[in-house]
Amino acid sequence: MTGSLIRPTRRALLGAAAALGAGATARTARAQSLRGTTLVFASWGGAYQEAQKVCYCDPFAAETGARVVQDGPMNAARFRTMAESGAPDWDVVDVTINTLFSGAHDGLLEKIDTTVVDTSRIAPQFVHEYGIGCIAWSYNLAYNTRTFPAARRPTTWADLFDMRQFPGKRTMLDQPVANLEAALMADGVAPADLYPLDVERALRKIDTIKAQTIFWTTNSQSQQLFVDEEVSIGIILNGRAYDASKKGAEIGIAWEGNIQSVDYLVVPRGSRNRAAAMKLIEVMTRAENQARLANMIAYAPTNPAAFASIDPAISPWLSTSPENTRRGFVINAEWWRQNERRLMERWAAWKLAR
């Protein structure tokens, strides 16, 4: 998970807890089945993990009798060291798509037990043999709504590179991930034909706006660039745009060709509580629980049924809403796993070149 969104209020946390408590009571037939078990759940900390605790871990504890200890923040190197030891401290971990694919490739993860976790409830693009998607976000084209009023707003990645129709400073990530995909789509490549990426073609395209582009290194910086109106158009995470909008920024986003990424729930190899860990993942993938989390912190669910209970004012900002899903695609994490180190070096060299 690469960025934090709106911080839930105490009232929202208490309201969600009350609603979830009622739902857990209704499942009395399965209650207290794990009494005496202690699980460790690791995530990214902050408001996001607090929402996960309220919406996922607390109802799981109430339903099964297990105790869930919170830990983190998630760190890929620490996770790998634990899993390689075969005796991890963490039982269920919220990881990025890159960690999922590298961990699966290197044999560091337990397979998802589909007799416990109903994978059919999750959108198929977010189901992996070794992990289940829990939230999704996307890289989007964002723009200043005052600079570009409704009649002439940018709608596609090509507009990011059109300095005549859409003048002003740009912003992109200070890394190749997502930038290369956006550049190639702007140059006419269909999403289905992106991989393997034509890296040099993409860099030549970015060359056309390089001098007018501010490259951001953190999600907070990308958001602040729009809040301060230092840029008029560029790439930003959908959640950061939503947060900026709620705080009064003149910002909008386009959804055509949105580049989606996912956080996955995984169980590190050798977990002492594998069965209980699978049960926690089952609770975390229920529609009602994912809907409550989305309403609290505006992260997109991976269970499509959750949208029936998500605030209509939030749904249009979420990458997995039916319309936004149709207009985007999930980034090819396996291709990036194989090529990211090489391309980070190529990106650094390109940045230094005039």
Q: Give the CATH number for residue 275.
A: 3.40.190.10
Whole-number pLDDT of residue 9: 53
Tokens, residue 149: 């009023």
What are 168-186's pLDDT values in tens digits?
999 999 999 999 999 999 9
Q: Give the total number of structural domains in the chain.
A: 2
Tokens, residue 288: 């009602």
Whole-number pLDDT of residue 234: 98
Q: At residue 28, does pLDDT exceed 50?
A: no
Residue 344 lies in a domain: yes
Place of tokens 């964002």: 142
Same domain, 234 and 192: yes
Q: At residue 92, does pLDDT exceed 80?
A: yes
Same domain, 27 and 9: yes
Q: Where would I find the H helices in 228-273?
A: 238-246
Q: At residue 325, does pLDDT exceed 80?
A: yes
Same domain, 48 and 167: no
Same domain, 269 and 244: no
Whole-number pLDDT of residue 220: 85
Residue 293 lies in a domain: yes
Whole-number pLDDT of residue 50: 92
What does the pLDDT average to over 287-307?
A: 94
Residue 241 lies in a domain: yes
Contact (CB, 8 A) for 224 and 234: no
CA distance 64 to 308: 26
Whole-number pLDDT of residue 114: 97
Whole-number pLDDT of residue 8: 56
What does the pLDDT average to over 219-229?
A: 92
> In terms of Cα–Cα distance, which of 168, 101, 153 is closest to 130?
101
Whole-number pLDDT of residue 10: 53
Name the DSSP class of 304: G
Same domain, 195 and 332: yes
Residue 321 lies in a domain: no
What are 14-26's pLDDT values in tens digits?
555 555 555 544 4
Same domain, 147 and 173: yes
Whole-number pLDDT of residue 32: 60
Radius of gyration, alpha carbons of the chain: 21
Tokens, residue 334: 């396996």
Whole-number pLDDT of residue 26: 47
Q: At residue 88, does pLDDT exceed 70?
A: yes
What are 280-289's pLDDT values in tens digits?
999 999 999 9
Same domain, 87 and 168: no
Q: At residue 29, does pLDDT exceed 80?
A: no
pLDDT band at 298 (very low <50, low <70, confident <90, very high): confident
Whole-number pLDDT of residue 4: 43
Q: At residue 252, does pLDDT exceed 90?
A: yes
- Pick the range with the lowest mean pLDDT from 118-122, 197-201, 313-317: 313-317
Q: How much of the chain exceeds pLDDT 90, in percent?
A: 82
Same domain, 16 and 69: yes
CA distance 309 to 307: 5
What are 116-151's pLDDT values in tens digits?
999 999 999 999 999 999 999 999 999 999 999 888
Whole-number pLDDT of residue 151: 85
Domain carrying residue 167? 137-261+326-352
Same domain, 26 and 130: yes
Same domain, 175 and 198: yes
Same domain, 26 and 70: yes
Residue 150 lies in a domain: yes
